């Protein structure tokens, strides 16, 4: 399968609702209670309170291992707010030491000259001694072992190399982001209703659509069976367009600085026009059109005007748990078995140098990397993956007994069968981990986040009949700076 550079998803978290659940911290960058920025690592994320509580375990572990050092965890809001906050702070020299990011965020940070090449630390076997008061403390190994790095999912790790970022002036093999956790889009479905419509296998179990043609067939029958229902909800217009550009090979963006924007083409127009026809038949709603995550419609059931099928992030699986039915999970449909790509997304980590003007910038980089090691620790990754529904960034997490138990649908602590939200999260994690060979990502460059935002608008305009496909794509191309 064609691999396409790094993920360019400045606002794709809008579709998950798992990290950014309204958790905000107005303290701003450089708000250390101690005021000692030489020994305080400032970390920005978009985590909601539940996940921030999980992250506290990594913070506590770091602070216990490295006395005299503190972590200041700030949540400016969602991903867009993190981006905005970092950009603002960079102008004042108050940038965090570590931040959640998407690739196109980093494309906007590169020009500041503060992005750290983490290659120098990744596998470093060197020790480091630092001073706490009058005592000296020694870190035995700055980096990960070769064996640990071999457990990192290769595709996730590869996304962070500089060769994937337009505008980076250093070595193309510089490592400027590290993966934290990842997700993809999945198809959540109501098995009871599929069976009622006749979509079942030889064992009588519900059979989800493997292709878009099968999905549209289900939508037609669902509308006939439950006239008030909207059969399909899609939680990200932009992801839908970008995914179809891969599956149908009609182009979205390019790393070529002379030809970044490929989406204004006849194949894209034809797909959008076809999609508008399905919308007119009442088959579709989306997050922007509905005004909220379509999972809220999915859990209602079709008799009450809800959905039969919902496409959303694996990281938002807990929001897809029905109350009157048991939610099942499958890969998103494809054109056919060969053309069935699905998007890779989720937060990475970027290190930024020099925030709050520390007197020990080199030491602070090393200590920030030690905190990264806590966040990528195999046991912590298992804990975070269970809580969030996101895929861990290292394969040995699947060997952690508690996570293995969780993926079988059992509570790791009691051995009881999972139910409700936890069960759907476990099903989504199982489905997502099998799709790595179907993942694709998009080029990262200054302007790639604009292209993504424009695709959200394009799909919305065309479905609502506010613009035809030709006008919508032409306007989007112009808004991205195309001639």
198 and 267 inside one domain: yes
353 and 339 inside one domain: no
Contact in structure between 244 and 341 (CB atoms under 8 Å) = no
Secondary structure letter of residue 371 according to DSSP: H
| DSSP reduced 3-state for 344 | coil
313 and 353 inside one domain: no
Quick one: CA torsion of 40, 46, 47, 49, rounded to 10 degrees? 90
Does residue 328 sit within a domain? yes
Which residue, 356, 390, 410, sits at the end of a domain?
A: 410
- For residue 267, how far is the Cα from the chain centroid? 27
Partners of 312 in the β-ladder: 186
Does residue 118 sit within a domain? yes
pLDDT tens over the chain, length 483 residues: 333 333 333 333 333 344 443 333 333 333 345 578 999 999 999 999 999 999 999 999 999 999 999 999 999 998 889 999 999 999 999 999 999 999 888 989 999 999 999 999 999 999 999 998 888 999 999 999 999 999 999 889 999 999 888 778 889 899 999 999 999 999 999 999 999 999 999 999 999 999 999 999 999 999 999 999 999 999 999 999 999 999 999 999 998 888 999 999 999 999 999 999 999 999 999 999 999 999 999 999 999 999 999 999 998 999 999 889 999 999 999 999 999 999 988 999 999 999 999 999 999 999 999 999 999 999 999 999 999 889 999 999 999 999 999 999 999 999 999 999 999 999 999 999 889 889 988 888 888 989 999 999 999 999 999 999 999 999 999 999 986
Partners of 342 in the β-ladder: 439
Does residue 45 sit within a domain? yes
Does residue 72 sit within a domain? yes
336 and 456 inside one domain: yes
171 and 199 inside one domain: no
Cβ neighbours for 319, distance < 8 A, ≥ 6 positions apart: 17, 18, 293, 295, 296, 312
pLDDT at 166: 79
With tokens 């048991």, the residue in question is: 326
| DSSP reduced 3-state for 172 | coil
* CATH code of residue 459: 3.40.190.10
50 and 197 inside one domain: no
In this structure, how many other beta carbons lie within 10 angstroms of the beta carbon of residue 290? 16
Does residue 325 sit within a domain? yes
451 and 302 inside one domain: yes
Cβ neighbours for 407, distance < 8 A, ≥ 6 positions apart: 398, 426, 429, 430
CA–CA distance, 204 with 207 (Å, rounded to integer): 9
Which residue, 393, 410, 427, sits at the end of a domain?
A: 410
Q: How many domains in the chain?
A: 2
Closest among 313, 378, 426, 400 to 152, alpha carbons compared? 378
pTM score: 0.85
Angle formed at CA 37 by CA 35 and CA 41, multiple of 5 degrees: 115
284 and 372 inside one domain: no
Does residue 430 sit within a domain? no
335 and 474 inside one domain: yes
227 and 357 inside one domain: no
290 and 388 inside one domain: no
230 and 264 inside one domain: yes
For 95-173, where are the alpha helices, taking DSSP H only? 103-109, 119-122, 146-150, 154-158
Boundaries of domain holding 275: 185-344+440-479
DSSP characters over 201-241 = -TTS-B---SBHHHHHHHHHHHHHH-TT---EEES-HHHHH
Which residue, 360, 390, 410, sits at the end of a domain?
A: 410
Contact in structure between 77 and 19 (CB atoms under 8 Å) = no
Does residue 426 sit within a domain? no
Does residue 331 sit within a domain? yes
pLDDT at 119: 97
């Amino acid at each position: 399968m064609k691999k396409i550079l790094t993920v360019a998803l400045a606002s794709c978290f809008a579709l998950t609702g798992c990290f950014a659940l309204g958790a905000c911290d107005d303290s701003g960058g450089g708000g250390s209670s101690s005021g000692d920025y030489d020994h305080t690592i400032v970390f920005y994320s978009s985590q909601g309170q539940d996940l921030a509580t999980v992250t506290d375990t990594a913070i506590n572990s770091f602070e216990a291992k490295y006395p005299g050092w503190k972590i200041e965890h700030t949540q400016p809001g969602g991903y867009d707010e993190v981006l905005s906050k970092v950009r603002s702070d960079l102008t004042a020299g108050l940038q965090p030491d570590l931040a959640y990011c998407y690739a196109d965020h980093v494309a906007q940070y590169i020009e500041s000259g503060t992005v750290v090449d983490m290659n120098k630390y990744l596998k470093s076997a060197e020790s480091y001694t630092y001073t706490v008061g009058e005592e000296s403390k020694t870190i035995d190994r700055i980096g990960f072992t070769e064996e640990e790095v071999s457990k990192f999912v290769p595709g996730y790790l590869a996304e962070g190399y500089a060769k994937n970022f337009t505008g980076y002036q250093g070595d193309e093999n510089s490592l400027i982001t590290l993966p934290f956790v990842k997700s993809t889009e999945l198809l959540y479905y109501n098995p009871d209703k599929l069976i009622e419509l006749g979509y079942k296998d030889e064992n009588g179990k519900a059979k989800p659509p493997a292709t878009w043609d099968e999905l549209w067939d289900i939508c037609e029958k669902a509308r006939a069976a439950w006239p008030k229902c909207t059969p399909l909800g899609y939680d990200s217009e932009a992801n839908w367009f970008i995914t179809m550009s891969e599956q149908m090979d009609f182009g979205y963006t390019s790393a070529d600085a002379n030809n970044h924007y490929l989406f204004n083409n006849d194949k894209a127009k034809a797909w959008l026009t076809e999609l508008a026809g399905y919308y007119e038949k009442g088959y579709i709603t989306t997050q922007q059109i509905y005004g909220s995550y379509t999972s809220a419609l999915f859990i209602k059931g079709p008799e009450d005007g809800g959905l039969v099928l919902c496409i959303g992030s694996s990281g938002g699986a807990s929001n897809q748990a029905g109350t009157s039915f048991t939610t099942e999970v499958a890969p998103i449909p494809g054109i056919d078995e060969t053309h069935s790509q699905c998007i890779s997304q989720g937060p990475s980590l970027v290190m930024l140098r020099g925030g709050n003007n520390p007197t020990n910038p080199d030491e602070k980089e090393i200590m920030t990397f030690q905190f990264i090691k806590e966040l990528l620790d195999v046991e912590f990754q298992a804990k975070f993956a269970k809580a969030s529904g996101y895929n861990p960034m290292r394969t040995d997490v699947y060997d952690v007994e508690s996570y293995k138990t969780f993926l079988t649908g059992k509570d790791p602590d009691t051995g009881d069968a999972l139910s409700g939200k936890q069960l759907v999260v476990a099903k989504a994690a199982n489905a997502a981990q099998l799709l790595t060979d179907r993942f694709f990502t998009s080029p990262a460059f200054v302007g790639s986040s604009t292209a993504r935002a424009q695709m959200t608008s394009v799909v919305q305009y065309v479905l609502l009949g506010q613009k035809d496909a030709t006008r919508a794509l032409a306007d989007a191309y112009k808004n991205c700076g195309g001639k």
